[in-house]
Structure 1
Amino acid sequence: MIAFIEVNKTYPNGTAALQNINLTIEQGEFVAVIGLSGAGKSTLIRCINRMHDITSGKLIVDDVDVSKLKGAHIRKFRRRIGMIFQSFNLVTRATVLSNVLVSFVPELPMWRKWTGMFTKQHKIQALEALDKVGILDKAFMRVDQLSGGQQQRVALARTLAQNPDIILADEPIASLDPVTSRIVMDDFKRINKELNISVIMNIHHVEIALEYADRIIGIRKGEVVFDGATSKVTQAILQDIYGGKWEAEQAAIEEQASYVG
Structure 2
Amino acid sequence: MIEFINAEKTYPNGTKALQDINLKIDQGEFVGVIGLSGAGKSTLIRCVNRMHDITGGQLMVDNVDISKLKGKQVRKFRRRIGMIFQSFNLVTRTTVMKNVLVSFVPDLSFLRKLFGVYTKEQKVKALEALDKVGILDKAFIRVDQLSGGQQQRVALARTLAQNPDIILADEPIASLDPITARQVMDDFKRINKDMNISVIINIHHVEVALEYADRIIGVRKGEIVFDGPSAKVTQDVLDEIYGGRVEEFKASREESDSHV
TM-score range, shorter chain: over 0.9
Task: Name 2:156's counterpart in structure 1.
Answer: 156
Shift of 1:64: 1.2
1:118-169 CA distances to partner (integer Å, 9 max, x unpaired)? 0000000000000000000000000000000000000000000000000000
Say whether 1:54 aligns with 2:25: no
Task: Name 1:17's counterpart in structure 2.
Answer: 17
Shift of 1:245: 1.1
Task: Name 1:205's counterpart in structure 2.
Answer: 205
Say whether 1:108 aligns with 2:108: yes
Task: Name 1:194's counterpart in structure 2.
Answer: 194
Pairing of 1:1-261 with structure 2 (within 5 A)? 1-260=1-260
Shift of 1:45: 0.1
1:31-67 CA distances to partner (integer Å, 9 max, x unpaired)? 0000000000000000000000000100000111110
Residue type of the alignment partner of 1:50: R
Secondary structure at 2:259's aligned position in 1? Answer: helix
Q: Partners of 1:84 and 1:106 in 2: how far apart?
A: 18
Q: Partners of 2:38 and 2:106 in 1: how far apart?
A: 32
Q: Partners of 1:222 and 1:10 in 2: how far apart?
A: 10
Q: Partners of 2:252 and 2:34 in 1: how far apart?
A: 15
| TM-score normalized by the length of structure 2 | 1.00
Q: Partners of 2:136 and 2:246 in 1: how far apart?
A: 40
Shift of 1:251: 0.5
**RMSD across aligned positions (CA):** 0.4
Q: Partners of 2:107 and 2:98 in 1: how far apart?
A: 16
Shift of 1:233: 0.1
Residue type of the alignment partner of 2:243: G
Shift of 1:244: 1.3
Q: Partners of 2:109 and 2:68 in 1: how far apart?
A: 27
Shift of 1:107: 1.1
Q: Partners of 2:243 and 2:81 in 1: how far apart?
A: 32
Residue type of the alignment partner of 1:212: Y
Secondary structure at 2:38's aligned position in 1? Answer: coil
Give structure 2 stretches of 5+ with no counterpart.
none
Q: Partners of 2:94 and 2:236 in 1: how far apart?
A: 48
What is the aligned length?
260
Q: Partners of 2:110 and 2:216 in 1: how far apart?
A: 43
Q: Partners of 2:105 and 2:81 in 1: how far apart?
A: 15
**Identity among equivalent pairs (%):** 77
| TM-score normalized by the length of structure 1 | 0.99
Shift of 1:2: 0.2
After superposing on structure 2, the runs of 4+ consecutive aligned residues of structure 1 that deviate more than 4 Å are none
Q: Partners of 1:179 and 1:223 in 2: how far apart?
A: 32
Shift of 1:226: 0.1
